[in-house]
Amino acid sequence: MGTRATIADVARKAGVSPSTASVVFSGKTPVSDATRRKVEDAAAELGYTGPDPRAASLRTGRSGIVGVVFEEHLGAAFLDPVKTLMMDGLADAVSPLGAGLLLLRDHEPSGRGATLTTAPIDAAVLVGCSGRLRESLDAVLGRGIPVVVMEGDAGADVPRIDLDNVEAQRQAASHVRTLGHSAVVILTLPHRADGPAGWVEGAADDEITVDVTRDRLRGAREIYPSAPVYAAAASSIDEGVAAGRAILADPAARPTAVIAQSDLLAVGVIRAAEEAGLRVPEDLSVTGFDGIEIDGLAPYELTTLVQPAADKGRAAGVAVAAMLEGREAASIRFTCVFREGNTTAAAPVETGLAASGAARLSPTP
Amino acid sequence: MGTRATIADVARKAGVSPSTASVVFSGKTPVSDATRRKVEDAAAELGYTGPDPRAASLRTGRSGIVGVVFEEHLGAAFLDPVKTLMMDGLADAVSPLGAGLLLLRDHEPSGRGATLTTAPIDAAVLVGCSGRLRESLDAVLGRGIPVVVMEGDAGADVPRIDLDNVEAQRQAASHVRTLGHSAVVILTLPHRADGPAGWVEGAADDEITVDVTRDRLRGAREIYPSAPVYAAAASSIDEGVAAGRAILADPAARPTAVIAQSDLLAVGVIRAAEEAGLRVPEDLSVTGFDGIEIDGLAPYELTTLVQPAADKGRAAGVAVAAMLEGREAASIRFTCVFREGNTTAAAPVETGLAASGAARLSPTP
DNA sequence: TTGTACGCGTTATCAT
DNA sequence: ATGATAACGCGTACAA
């Protein structure tokens, strides 16, 4: 009662050797029915429910656990629709593998507990990664654990699942330009983990540690090289509203279009525009990125880039499965599909106001 | 190169004993700076990145992992808004504990891999549980692992986090009755895992293995004891549409109100009603359950019961933390708040049609 | 402060 | 088909 029964206890009670008892549970070797019965009965009597996972794992070197590493508050994984879809696909793909998904943060604040370095994982998926990516990556690679990186550059040898962010965002910007907009603001995702919101003066690419942010910005800049850049603190409607208010604050310096790096941010901007008495798309065009379903957005239908989020997750799972079987996993780059909604329209006829606004908005003072 | 360095290798290289090296990494005992340096240098040279989690876990008996067990496809955990919120709260609450969340299914189809019985977890949270609950529960209790059950009856001794489902659903039904409805259909969640959709004839309580379904139905029946019952196959908008079509199929037997056991189902019913040319709430009143945000529902605002999903998750996390510290954890029952939207209205004036419909709808043929 | 010795519970290997 | 043996890699009394 004080201590749990072990397989040795069961074996003794059943009158067989520990290895035989072990084999009864693992099924790795044929066992006579009589022996099996003896062992099972003994186990039942002792309340033995099977091998201790810890010991088995130590011995076999496998835990059946795939770690999924987020750089942010874990809850975000459940609240961000893109991540949610991605996880759905991932769960799907590792399911036949029989593996469980262990949700981890890259940098666990409290000392003890499971972190990337202390969790018994067979493989890892690094997602939404940024500056801390290298750190996490080294930890995993150092342990010789197969790893897949989503949306981040991990160097050679590490399979990568990502999007054609540059090209996709270029498409959206191009669409906006075709509509005749010149006073454009680019609303980006955070530039680095925990980055504050605000205007970014002459944002140099190498100051942006979040790969997604950098690439999408790069794409937009191929069309609008000198458009002002406002960085949001996170990808959420609330942050989008805050950013929208800041961007639309000065009536004399209002853009006629906002290129947002996520749908949630775009929705926030639309709300902010409504607040400010602007009509979308007549007074302000807004583009998003992700192509998620957004509740309560009617009658708007966002002009955006639809990314195959679930497929991305599934691909990561497939890659993990391959690596666990000792095969090589290939990097995959998914393609976004441009979808024109009703949140973009031709630029308003150029008034002195808009013209001066455009001028004021140039990044160089 | 062939095999990984162990702490013994590091100790040897550093010229200290294994236990000293161990202490350097765990920090459980003061170590002289000189020794620490020696060990750290040796570790760096050997590419040793810290204790093997498997071995450490076997030794200490702790893994820093909390298992979260779903009865369904894991992806569902990420697509169902209620579960999503719940997980957010749970992640929140176990975070200070430094524990990772391991997502598991109650019954893993493929043989190998992490299951409830083979995963190195310190504690378990059973969620959305039904008939298989007992099975999962036995597995966990047998291993002496602390467990918390969400939305399910696990018997005494097992802390339970749930809702006042009966009372809450009674409130909604009562509201519907106050509006004068007599031709009412109750649209329930599945009656058992993988239960098929369809009309349920004289559903006896004890045939319903899903606790949530049973309790909410019980609440509705306190007001409408003989209302026909239609069971959905899952909680989703799509299933709601399918159920709605079936419920509204016969114009002569149409109800004037549908009491749905989840918001998603309710939304589906509304869509089906629109399809059928019915106006909500003028021709058909619909109530939901959960109080989640639903995109694209405007101009409707669901009459529903708002449940504190995130708080539920948080409570589970707190309970787990308590049990891991050897304290007792209390069961908690959360209260839903009735919220009247614009999807319910007074029953249409009784026509011969509606009257006969009500008659036809009585469960006894 | 450091080292010695042992066991955590299991499973792979090999021999029988 | 079954059994003996030897790790797996670590943490922690306890002694020095």
A79 touches chain B (CB under 8 A): yes
pLDDT at A112 over 60: no
Contact B113 A97 (CB under 8 A): yes
Strand partners, A70: A105
Closest by Cβ to B104, choosing from A74, A75, A100: A100
pLDDT at B39 over 70: yes
Kindly report the nearest CA distance between residue A12 and chain B, in angstroms: 20
Separation CA A291–CA A280 (nearest Å): 18
For the domain bounded by A65-163+310-335, which CATH number is listed? 3.40.50.2300
Give the pLDDT confidence of B235-292 residue by residue, as tens digits: 988 899 999 999 999 999 999 999 999 999 999 999 999 999 999 999 999 999 999 9
Identify all chain A residues contacting B92, using CB atoms and an 8 Å cutoff: 73-75
Band (pLDDT 50/70/90 cuts) for residue B296 is low
Q: Which residue is nearest to nucleotide D12 (CA to C1')?
A: B19
Query: Which of these ranges, B63-67, B141-145, B230-234, B239-243, has the smallest mean pLDDT?
Result: B141-145
Neighbours of B330 (CB within 10 A): 12
Band (pLDDT 50/70/90 cuts) for residue B2 is low
User: Fold match between A65-163+310-335 and A165-307?
Assistant: yes
Band (pLDDT 50/70/90 cuts) for residue B355 is very low
Query: Which of these ranges, B114-118, B188-192, B331-335, has the smallest mean pLDDT?
Result: B114-118
CA distances from B175 to B163, B172, B188, B346 (A): 19, 5, 18, 10
Mean of pLDDT values over B94-101: 82
Mean of pLDDT values over A74-80: 76
Band (pLDDT 50/70/90 cuts) for residue A97 is confident
Q: For residue A115, what pLDDT is reported? A: 76
Band (pLDDT 50/70/90 cuts) for residue A193 is confident
Separation CA A235–CA A219 (nearest Å): 19
B135 touches chain A (CB under 8 A): no
Q: For residue A108, what pLDDT is reported? A: 60
A15 touches chain B (CB under 8 A): no
Band (pLDDT 50/70/90 cuts) for residue B352 is very low
Q: What is the CA radius of gyration of chain A?
A: 27
Percent of chain B with pLDDT over 90: 59
Band (pLDDT 50/70/90 cuts) for residue B127 is confident
Band (pLDDT 50/70/90 cuts) for residue B331 is very high
Separation CA A260–CA A229 (nearest Å): 10
Cβ within 8 Å of residue A37, ≥6 positions away? none
pLDDT at B114 over 90: no
Separation CA A357–CA A354 (nearest Å): 5
Strand partners, B333: B162
Burial A172-207 (b: 16+ CB within 10 A, else e): bbbbbeebebbbbbbbbbbbebebebeebeebeeee
Separation CA B284–CA B141 (nearest Å): 47
Mean of pLDDT values over B358-365: 42
Mean of pLDDT values over B202-229: 90
Mean pLDDT of chain A: 87
Band (pLDDT 50/70/90 cuts) for residue A164 is very high
pLDDT at A361 over 60: no
**Nucleic acid strand D within 7 Å of B138 CB:** no
Neighbours of B342 (CB within 10 A): 12
CA-closest candidate to residue B185, choices B278, B266, B302: B266
Identify all chain B residues contacting A49, using CB atoms and an 8 Å cutoff: 117, 139, 142-143
Within chain A, residue ranges assigned H as helices are 7-14, 18-26, 33-46, 53-60, 74-79, 81-94, 133-142, 165-178, 211-223, 237-248, 263-275, 309-324, 352-361
Closest by Cβ to A88, choosing from B79, B108, B112: B79
Band (pLDDT 50/70/90 cuts) for residue B197 is very high
pLDDT at A365 over 50: no
With respect to CATH, is domain A165-307 assigned 3.40.35.10? Answer: no
pLDDT at B42 over 60: yes
Domain boundaries, chain A: 7-51, 65-163+310-335, 165-307
Band (pLDDT 50/70/90 cuts) for residue A303 is very high
A87 touches chain B (CB under 8 A): yes
- Nucleotide nearest residue A60, measured CA to C1': C11
**Chain B 286-345, CB < 7 Å to strand C:** none
Query: Which of these ranges, A279-283, B27-31, B50-54, has the smallest mean pLDDT?
Result: B27-31
Identify all chain A residues contacting B55, using CB atoms and an 8 Å cutoff: 58
For tokens 């995130």, the residue is: B310
Tell me how many residue pairs between chain A and chain B have CB atoms under 8 A apart: 194
Sheet holding B184-188, edge to edge: B198-200, B229-231, B184-188, B257-260, B285-287
Contact A118 B50 (CB under 8 A): yes
Mean of pLDDT values over A21-26: 93
